[in-house]
Amino acid sequence: MFIKAYSRVADVEPFVYPKGAAGLSLGMAANLTGGALAKCAATTKPTHIVMGPQRADGTYPAIEVTENTIFETVSTATVAATVVGSAVTLSTDALGVTATTTSGVFKILDTDGATTNSTVRGVFVTPAAAAA
How confident is the model over 26-49, as a mean pLDDT?
96
Confidence of residue 46 (pLDDT cuts 50, 70, 90): very high
- pLDDT tens for each residue of 91-112: 999 999 999 999 999 999 999 9
Task: Tell me if the pTM is above 0.85.
Answer: yes
pLDDT at residue 74, as a whole number: 97
Would you say 14 and 52 are in contact if contact means Cβ atoms under 8 Å apart? no
Confidence at 120, pLDDT banded by 50, 70, 90: very high
Distances (CA, A) of 99 to 23, 80, 93, 119: 25, 8, 15, 12
- Contact status, residue 18 vs residue 32, Cβ threshold 8 Å: yes
**Can you give the C-alpha Rg of the chain in angstroms?**
14
Alpha-carbon gap, residue 91 to 1, rounded angstroms: 10
